[in-house]
Structures are given as C-alpha cells and as structure tokens.
Amino acid sequence: MQRRSAYGLAALLLAAALGLPPAARAHAIIVAAAPGPGEQVKGPDVPVELRFNSRIDRERSRLSLLRSSGKPEIVPLEASGAPDALTGKLQALPPGSYRLRWQVLGVDGHITRGDIPFTVVP
Amino acid sequence: MALLLDIFGYLSVVLRGAVLAAQAMLLGGVIFLIAMRALLAAPTLARCARLVAWSALAFAFAELAFVLLQGLVLVGTLEITLGEALTAAFARADLISCAAAAAAAWLALSGAKGGRLLALAVLGLVILAAQVATSHAAARLEDRALPAFADFLHMAGAAAWIGGIPYLLIALSDRRDPTAGPMVARRFSQLAIAAVTALLAGGITMAVIYIGSFDALYGTAYGVMVSTKALLLSGLLLLGGMNYLMVERLYREPRAPIERLRRFAEVEIGLGLTVLFAAASLTSQPPAVDLVNDRVSWHEMVERLTPHWPRFESPDHASLALSELQAQIERAAATQSTRPEAYVPGEGTLAPRNAEDIAWSEYNHHWAGLFVLAIGALALLERSGRARWARHWPLLFLGLAGFLFVRSDPEVWPLGNVGFFASFRDPEVVQHRIFVVLLAAFALFEWRVRAGAWRRTGAALVFPLLTATGGALLLTHSHALSNVKEQLLIEITHVPLALCGITAGWARWVELRLESREGRLAAWVWPIAFVLVGIVLLIYREA
C-alpha cells in the first residue's frame, strides 16, 4: 500500500515537472516616454526620459541609440533621479530616423527591454 | 548566449514555477512537522523530515538555476561581469534563500526535532522574506508594506495547505497505529482552514491592489490569469471541503475507509501545483493596474467569444472575408504602433501576422475540434457499454497528433523552410512539439489500456497525468503576436480549454484510483469534458 501511494505521489510530481512552459511577458513597462514612439523631435540635442511602472536598478539598466545603419551606441545615463526613471541626453543628432533601445532590471529581478522609434527634425 | 536569450522568458517562468512548487513543499513540510510532531510515530516523522530535506534541495537547486539564468542574461546583454550581476538586490535575496534552503536540508536530514525544528522554522521565515523581497511588492514605487505583507500571507497559506498535503498522505499511509491517522487528519483540517483564510486574505488584498477595477479583471492578461487561478482555487476548495467532512467522520469512526480522502488529497496536490505554475506565470506580468492601454473591452471579448461557423476549408487569399480580416488586423496594428512596447530579452522581434496566418490557425483549431468531439463522443459511447468497438477511440489522437505536427507551424519542416532542429529555437514551436509528443504518447498508452493489456499497470496513469499537464500547459500557452490586445483575446479563449483539460485529467485519475460511487461518477465527467473541449475548439476564433 505504501509503495502504491508513493508511486502515485511521484507520478503527480512528474506531472508538474513535465514543464508547463508558460507565456513570458514583460514585467516592467513604460508608462511615459520622451521621445515617444513615432514622435518627431527637434535636434540636434534630444533629452531622454523613460518612466516605468516599477522601481528599477539603474546600475544594471541600459539605453542605446541605433542609427539607420551601424551598431548600437550606449547612451550615458544620469546617475541620480527618480527610482522609476532612466534619463540621459542624446547629443549632436543630425536629422533622420533613430531607435532608442532600452533594457531595465526591475528591483524584483525582472529584465525587460524594448525599442522606441523616433525621428529628429532640424 | 543567443540560444539562452531566445528561450530566456520561457525558461525563467518554468524555473520560477519549480521554485514556487519546491518552496510550498519545503515550508508546508516544516509547518506540518511543527504542528504534528506530537502525533507522529518516529518512522513517520523521519519520512516526513526526508521529504522536507529533498524539497529544500530541490528549492535550492531551482533557485540557484533561476538566479544564474538571470545573471547570465545580464552578463550577455550589458557586458558586465557575473559578479556585478549577482550583487543586484534580487540576486542577493535569491542567494540568501538558496543558502537558507541548503541549511534546512542539512537540519532536516540530521533529525527534525526540538531546537532543530525551531531552526527550520526560522530558515523558513528567511526564505519567505527573501521571496517577498523579489515580488511585485518590492518593485512598487510607494505603499510597499501592505502588498508585501499580503504576499507573505498568500505564500505562507499556500505552503501550509498545498505543501502540507504530501506529508498528510505519508502520515495516513502509516497503518501501524490506527488512531494516529484520524487525529493527524483532523489537526491538518484545522491547520488547512487557517491556511486557506491566510491565502484568501492575502490573495484578495493583492487582487484589489494590483487589479484595481472590474474591467481590468477580464481586460488584462494579469486579470485573466488571476480569474483563472480563482476558478482553480474554487475547485481545490470544493475538494478540501469534501475532505473536511470525511475527516470529521473519520474522527468519529476511526475504522471508516480513508481511500477517498487519500485520492482527493492527490488531486488537491495536482491542482495545487497547477495553481503554483499559473502563479509563476503571473509574476512575469505587469500588474493590471499599470496597464492602462491595450485593455480588452467587454464588447471586444463578447464579440470574440460569439460562435461562428467553423472553417473547414484551407485559407484562400482571394476571398472577400480575408480582405476584410486583413483590413481589421491592419487597423488594430495601426493603433498599437504609437504605444511603447516591452518584452523580455529574446522576444519582441515577432513578425506581424496576416489574415492568411489567422485563417490557417483557425482551420487547424476547427479540425482539431472535430477530432476531440469525436473522441469525447466515442468515449461516452464506450462508457455506456453499448458499443465495445468504441474503445479504440485513443487511435483518433494519433491522427490528431499527425495533423498538428504538419500544420501547426507552417514556416518550419515539413511545410516550411526552417529545418526540424533549427525550429526548436522558437519557444512557440517547442510548445507545439511538446503537445504533439504528449498526444502521441497519450494515444498509444491509452489504446493499450483500453485493449485490456495494461489496464492494471502504471500505464493507465499516463492518461490523467498527460491530460492534466496538457491543460495546465494550455493555461499558459503563448501565441507569437506583436499586438498585446490580440494576444490576450486568444488567451481568453484558451482558458476554458485549459480548465476542461485539467478537469478531464483529474476526473480520470479519480476514476482509476477510487473504486466507489465517486470513481464511477468521475468516469462520466472526463468524456463530457472532452466533448466540451471539442465544441470550444470548433468555435475558436483569432479575429
């Protein structure tokens, strides 16, 4: 009887261990962005401020700029500021299309990333 | 590293589920030992302590794997060292809980009594506190104390109830002292009532804080998952309530049979683990209250769930309906592009779907519905005892597995250009392949069982375990869509399928393990659940 019971229990745990691969979505989401997605902004200098729905670990978060060609350039982040925001400044941008790539580590350990396309006008 | 990034989101939630399941078993075991130590015989106490030790090791292993995965992804994406990654606040909390679990395993193996039991309780509190430190509550901007306390209560309640049941089964299997079992069961019932109260108090408080409004309950992925968890919990409470009555009877008549109590407790463990994996999926979602855009409205949900005639013909580009559908998708995509989107690493570069893709998917679901409806109807016919030939219904699942293997991912082999092995980098393809393997295994095992050859062997358990696992898999199945709202509308239609699958699996489990009135009743429940799955698939829509 004991062996049967142990067998049943093991089988139950196996059912759970089989995986149940779930949907993974982003935890930290942007609640306000400057520049916003698809926005046209005046250059050449563009201030950046992204606000999230949660506190973030700024030391382990990153902003990069993608030009229409070439590899991503890291945007220096301001060391202080609101605990839910990433701020920085894009300098000397000629008119054209860009993508701002962000990646944040939430204080709860969730890693999230995304792109914000925007255009610089003279 | 590229492969790790591809499967990161998928893997992190699976590991999180394993952490929560092991955590419940570890903490539930410690609480059980503290509450029952005076009632248990020494050999039973030792068996329980061994399970606590194994649960602690499983927890430490899963937690370490989880924190290393997060650390490696930070190293790969930020070009920092692993040391820098592992000094983040979340990693420190996770490593502390790993160390506490390792110490708990050592203590439990060296004999859990007296001062060691007290030390185990302290380590359990450290683990719970570390888990709260990496929860939604920790990342909130303000008012963190209340959600943190609610989360603490919720996890402690889940552990004491769900995590304690395996230990109850161990105690009930000890028949040397016939009076001990009823006393342990009664004390566990009282403990479970307190645990459920804590679980509900914590859960309802978090739901109010993180969901915030009725429309977010069905209009966001977080709200839908919480609603589904609540439905599963009501099933668990029903079983728990029936067991409570059984325990009271057992206390009055210690010689009463306890078979039903044990079998229902097994189902409680299975449903409990499903809820814990759903909870792991929930931790990766933004709280509903933060998702103010892209919510599904009541009208949109009703419109999507309104039945249409199934699509039994392959998609045709030139048809008028598809042109309209394409226009509808483009309108939805246009509203989406002005909002900032967020993804876990490895996702976020999904190709937009067109009308043909959707028609293809609906066609697949509708034919699958016909298969499952026929299977349910044949199983009912077999159950009625009027058609012996109907017992070959499992073979229809082989046909379904073949159909899905060929059609579910048209971009990969055998229909598309992506090779068979290369396709395993796409988590959605992997999920579909797992379904196909589960279906084929199910078909073969159950066919042999129905033929009578394996009726009394462990092979009979393949049906309930795979069906319940498949249902739980569906509960968290994701579709590769770039539009958050469209993704949620599809997930809403998967919830009834998942719940029917889970019901069918555990009903069959009860039928196999319980030779009584409840077992015979359960034998009718699962074919009906199959028929319902068939009907829901037949009216399934993606646009």
Q: Is A100 on the interface with B (CB under 8 A)?
A: no
Task: Quote the minimal CA–CA distance from B75 to chain A in Å.
Answer: 10
From the list B425, B432, B412, the residue with the least C-alpha distance to B5 is: B425
Q: Name which of B7, B284, B336, B484 to mutate to probe chain A: the one with the most chain A Cβ atoms within 10 A of its Cβ.
A: B284
Q: Which residue of A has its CA nearest to B467?
A: A15
Over the stretch B137-196, which tens digit does the pLDDT of each residue have? 888 888 889 999 999 999 999 999 999 999 999 998 877 766 778 889 999 999 999 999
Task: Please say whether the beta carbons of A57 and B88 come within 8 A.
Answer: yes
Angstrom distances, CA of residue A108 to CA of B89, B90, B151, B327: 8, 6, 13, 40
Q: How many angstroms separate the CA atoms of B204 and B433, rounded?
A: 37
Q: Which helix (H) or strand (E) holds B248?
A: helix B221-252
Q: Is B175 exposed, middle or buried (0-12, 13-18, 19+ CB in 10 A)?
A: exposed
Q: Which positions of chain A have pLDDT values less than 70?
A: 1-26, 70
Task: Please say whether the beta carbons of B258 and B181 come within 8 A.
Answer: yes
Q: How many angstroms separate the CA atoms of B478 and B486, rounded?
A: 11
Q: How many angstroms separate the CA atoms of B390 and B526, rounded?
A: 16
Q: Which residue of A has its CA nearest to B80?
A: A60
pLDDT of residue B327: 56
Is there a contact between A21 and B169 if contact means CB atoms under 8 Å apart? no
Q: Enter the tokens of residue B419.
A: 């090779």
Task: Report chain B's C-alpha Rg in angstroms.
Answer: 24
For B300-352, give the secondary structure using H, E and C: HHHHHHCCCCCCCCCCCCCCHHHHHHHHHHHHHHHHHCCCCCCECCCCCCCCC
Q: How many angstroms separate the CA atoms of B364 and B237, rounded?
A: 36
In one-letter notation, the amino acid at residue B47 is R
Is there a contact between A24 and B491 if contact means CB atoms under 8 Å apart? no
pLDDT of residue B318: 41
Nearby residues of B501 by Cβ (< 8 Å), 6 or more positions away: B467, B468, B470, B471, B472, B474, B529, B533
Is there a contact between A113 and B476 if contact means CB atoms under 8 Å apart? no
Task: Quote the minimal CA–CA distance from A70 to chain B in Å.
Answer: 18
Ordered mean pLDDT values, 10 residues apiece, chain B (543 residues): 67 86 95 92 91 96 94 89 92 94 93 84 94 88 90 94 93 77 90 95 93 88 88 91 88 80 90 87 81 84 85 57 50 56 56 72 89 94 90 92 85 79 78 82 87 74 84 63 67 86 92 86 93 92 80
Over the stretch B186-233, which tens digit does the pLDDT of each residue have? 999 999 999 999 999 999 999 999 998 998 888 888 888 899 889 999
A-chain residues near B288 (CB < 8 A): none
Task: Quote the minimal CA–CA distance from B103 to chain A in Å.
Answer: 24
Task: Quote the minimal CA–CA distance from B9 to chain A in Å.
Answer: 5
- For B269, the closest of A12, A19, A107 (CB atoms) is A12
Task: Please say whether the beta carbons of B168 and B265 come within 8 A.
Answer: yes
End-to-end CA distance of chain B: 36
Q: Which helix (H) or strand (E) holds B138?
A: helix B136-139
Helices (H), B385-455: 395-407, 427-451
The gap from C-alpha B127 to its chain's centroid, in whole angstroms, comes to: 22
pLDDT of residue A11: 41
From the list B333, B331, B301, B284, the residue with the least C-alpha distance to B483 is: B333
Q: How many angstroms separate the CA atoms of B388 and B446, rounded?
A: 15
pLDDT of residue B11: 79
- For B284, the closest of A21, A25, A83 (CB atoms) is A25
